[in-house]
Structures are given as structure tokens and as C-alpha cells.
Amino acid sequence: MSSTSASPSRLPTFDALGATPPEPVAAEDAARAWIALFAARAAAGDAEGLISETLYSDPWWRDLFALTWDIRTFHGRGAVSRFLGDRLAATHFGDIELLEATYQTPYPALGWIVVAFSFSTDVAQGRGEARLVYCADQTWRAVAVYTNLEGLRSFPESLGSHRDFKPDHGKWTAGAAFSETPDVLIIGGGQSGLAVAARLNALGVANLVVEADERVGDGWRKRHERLSLHGPIWQNHMPYLPFPSTWPVFIPSNKFANWLELYADALEINVKTSTSAKSIRRNTDTQKWDVTLQGPDEAQRSVSVKHIVMAAGWPFKHTTFPGQDGFEGQVIHSADFRSAAPYVGKKVLVIGACASAHDAASDCADLGIDVTMHQRSRTFIMSINPGMLRASSSAEWEGSPTEDVDRTKFALPVHLAKHLAKRTAALIREGDREMLEGLERAEYRTWAGEEDAGAFFHLLRGSGYYLDRGASQQIIDGKIKMKSGVDVDHLTRTGVRFSDGTELAADVIVVATGFDDARLLLRDLLGGSVPLEQIPPIWDFDDATGEVRGAYRDLGPALPDVWPILGNLAWVRWFSKHVALQIKAKLEGVYSERYEA
């Protein structure tokens, strides 16, 4: 994916703008005037007029599939001018109508009018947001515009007025709509796969989910017994079916596993458990993917599908160390760590210092086990309460429909949003000061996050952080001992020798070194027919484009109609809709080429 470089930019504070808006701010009046001009210039296909009359001098435009069939950020007048010149008339961007306008002051020296609007293109319905700032010439202009694909005009989801209104469903049976010859095969029956399947069902697209485990949700049941979701419940709802309001803020993993099983049943998702994809091959004659599946009876069968959704997440990084074969103790990966109970009376070393490592070490400490954590690099630490709850308040999420909050959360370009994140991170860091100083005294090495933005980039990159669930105090109290600032040199017969020449005795070594490259799963399914370096990168933040790489769009031309979806529950909920809409658009012949300029 190519894109215009999204260079850093400061926030449009009153000082930067050289103006302060008059009080009280007449948000709706300003929004109506702006929308009228914006809509008129868009209807006329006048890209230059739209830019000069309605956008700030240093504008941003983020598009999620509405005008580009891609996730794109454009920054600066030159980049936005080229984008609009190419796509404004070509997509018939128009029918722009004001939905809502509110004046917000995220910080005392920053204020903008958030304008929500609807629009349409030749094939799509969309929703957008603009953030209007008061400029020195006493005019409100948009510093950032966001356009999001909401639906396909001719193919609405079966929701609301588009539901089935037939009065007689007396002959209904579960799974009646299941297809043995689906258009879409979804590999993985966790939250990502189920979310996409639910979205495809709502669009009338035949799909099949294959899940290697015996039950839906086993991917969570087989994890650490005390694991819970780290994000608060209001962030984590699945599409169409929110969690009960009586549930705890942080959902236990087994409870969530059962919910996924219930979700698959309630939304009539076509899941075959104990079934795994063994290989995929592109059939150049049919332009489909031939997939070999293996079921519970070990028998293999083939299916031919137009689209494959890769929803199996990341593979765990099974790091090995020199001398490991000679180690007389037990080496266990964090993915297989269920409980510390079998290790009572033994010495445990946990290699790693992020979420899984803390969970394992904390369980050991609770049982009085002699446990040491080896930290290989600095880690971002944030408290869940108050830190995480300050960054994601229940009032924000539970005071508005989840989709409305999602729209706003994904509206700001990443490189602009990070400046807001830096200010929030500073407040959280101050609140966590006592904990962070205690960790440093215990030789746990913390940092303020990339560009001092706290968890912001870590969540985008998927590594290097821990949201504290109690292990930090155990480290401060010495119940979890620390070994940091050195590397593992090799394993000895009785423990570990480090790069500084010191040795640590251990009976059990828990390897918690994070996730590996998501492309490895595809490479293995392809049987090596496509080398790893020819598969486009999946996940991690691309500093040049200002977006996450690879996920939520197909991997063509290298792997056409193969759609990776992964990430936390909020990202999966939001982007599962975009994946389903793109697939539906391709199947119905209304998908145009992805914008590559």
C-alpha cells in the first residue's frame, strides 16, 4: 500500500491558529455554514475550491474505504489536493448532510467544532466527521476530515427496516441457511472470525468458519486460568449483540469463551469445530482458492471459495535458547501455562516482561513460589485503575451508541491523534508516578512509550506494554524478583547464564516472548509456494503511511481475495464491517480498484 507521508504536525491550538473563537460558540450555525459550502464544492467536483474555502492551511483527510477502498491518510494541501482531484468526481462523492455539531475543548488551549455528516458515493453510503477550528481570518475551517464506509447502497445489511418481516417462522430450524459451498471461508473461530461471519450473514453472503479447537471459545478456555480481558467491557462488545450490563468491567476469559459459543449460536454462524485448514492454493483457471480441510475424523476434503478471511490471529513466538536441550528442568511456553500450582516448591524464571509474563509471574507469587522475571527491554506500564479507565471512560462509551463512539475513535488521523494521546499519557503517568518509581527501584525498567505517547503506539504495534492487574505491586514488594539489563547467553544444566556472566538457578522456565509474524500462518498454508518476503506485511504501524499495515484489506496482487483480520476487540468489531462490505462489493461487482496514488 502506498500513501503520502504523514509527517508530524502540532495540534491546532489557539496560539498556533492566532485566534480564539468568540464565546459562546455557535456550533450548529458554524457547522451549517461549513457543510453548505463543503457540499456545494463537492457537488461541483471543485477540489481546489473545497480545499481553499473549507480546509485549514495544514489539513488532514482520513478515509476508511469510502473513497479509496483502503485505509488512507492524506496530510497537507498538496496530498489532499491530489487525492480529491483523483477521487472526488470519480466516486460521485455528494449528498452531504449535517447530522450533529458539538463544540469540544479537549484542552484549555484547544477547541474545535466536531461536525458529523452523512454522504454517499456511486455505490456506498457513508458517515464522516470534520473538526473545525477558528482561523485568524475569523472563518471556521476543517483541520481534519474523515470519511467512512458505512454500507452499500444497493445491498443493505438485514437490520432494522431491512429485516425479514415474514410473519410465519414456524418451520425455522437452526442452521437452515448454512451452506456447504460458501463464497467465503473464514479460518479461525475466535472473536475475529465470528465478527466477520456475523457481518457477512447480515449481508447475505454464504460463509463457513473453521475452528481447529473442539469448541468455539477454546482459544480462551485453554489460556491461563486467571486470565481476564484487559480492556473494559464497554470497549469490547461484539457486533449486533452487546454484553449484558450486569457483567463485570473486566470479563474473565472462561466467561468470554462461553459468550463466544453463545454468540455463534444466537447469530446462526456456520462453524465447523475440530476442523482446520491444511493448505490453500490459488486456482488460476477458476480464480478461486482451493482449500484442503481436515475434520475431526482426520479425513480431508477440499472446498473451492472466492474469498478467504484469515482470522487465526498471531502465532506465538516459540523462542529457543542455546543449551536448551541440556537443561534438566522444564521449559514451558506462556501459551501453554494454565496455572502455577504444579510449580509450588520450585524455582521459576519467566523470560519476558509484557502481559503474559506478568500473568504467569503473578500467579507464581500468589502461591509463594520463588519467581524471577527476566526483562529484555524497557516496557510501558500503565495502571488499569485509574489509568486505563481514565483513557477509556465508561461515561464516554456507555453514554452513546457503541458505533457512534467507534466512528469518533477512528476519525482522527493517527499522527494527529498521537498529540492528544501524549497529553493524556502525561496525566496518566503522573497518576501512576508512585507505581512507576517503585518499579524502577525494583530494577524493572519502564518508559513513557514511543514519542512519550503512552500506550498509543504500543496498541498499534501490538507489543511492548503491560496494563497492570496487580503484578507491579508484587514486583515492588519483591515477591517477583527482577533480572534486567542483560540478555540470556545460554541455558545450563540447572538454570540460565546471562550475558554479564551471572547465573540463575531455575527448575522451570516460562518463555513469554510475545507474538511472531502473522504472515507465518499464511506461509505455512501456502506450503512455501509464496515466500514470506512476498507476502505483504500484516500489522504493525507504518510511520510513513500513518496507518496499520495489511490488515482489513485483501493482500492482492500477491494474494488476491485473502483478508487478514486481527487486533483487539474494538478494532475487530469496527473493521469486521469493512471487511464484509468489501467482500460483498466484490461479489456483487460494485468494487472498483483500490486507490494507490
Coil vs helix vs strand at 73: strand
**In whole angstroms, what separates CA 243 from the centre of its chain?**
19
Interhelix angle for 402-409 vs 569-587, to 10°?
90
Q: What is the pLDDT of residue 173?
A: 66
How many Å is the maximal CA-CA distance in the chain?
Answer: 77
183: how many CB neighbours lie within 10 A of its CB? 18
pTM of the model: 0.95
Q: What is the dihedral of CA 234, 424, 34, 403, to 10 degrees?
A: -10
Tens place of pLDDT per residue across the chain (597 aa): 333 334 446 899 999 999 999 999 999 999 999 999 999 999 999 999 999 999 999 999 999 999 999 999 999 999 999 999 999 999 999 999 999 999 999 989 999 999 999 999 999 999 999 999 999 999 999 999 999 999 999 999 999 888 888 777 666 666 655 667 899 999 999 999 999 999 999 999 999 999 999 999 999 999 998 899 988 999 999 999 999 999 999 999 999 999 999 999 999 999 999 999 999 999 999 999 999 999 998 889 999 999 999 999 999 998 999 999 999 999 999 999 999 999 999 999 999 999 999 999 999 999 999 999 999 999 999 998 888 888 888 888 998 999 999 999 999 999 999 999 999 999 999 999 999 999 999 999 999 998 999 988 888 887 889 999 999 999 999 999 999 999 999 999 999 999 999 999 999 999 999 999 999 999 999 998 999 999 999 998 888 888 999 999 999 899 999 999 999 999 999 999 999 999 999 999 999 999 988
CA distance 328 to 307: 48
Question: Both ends of the chain: CA-CA distance in Å?
Answer: 9
Which residue segments constitute the domains of the chain, with CATH numbers given? 14-152 (3.10.450.50), 177-315+518-587 (3.50.50.60), 324-511 (3.50.50.60)
CA distance 559 to 63: 23
Tell me 237's DSSP state: P
CA distance 425 to 410: 18
Please answer whether residues 100 and 575 qualify as being in contact, where contact means their C-beta atoms are separated by less than 8 angstroms: no
The half-sphere exposure of 245 on its side-chain side, counting CA atoms within 13 A, is 4
CA distance 260 to 457: 28
Q: What is the dihedral of CA 327, 329, 331, 337, to 10 degrees?
A: -170
Please answer whether residues 84 and 76 qualify as being in contact, where contact means their C-beta atoms are separated by less than 8 angstroms: no
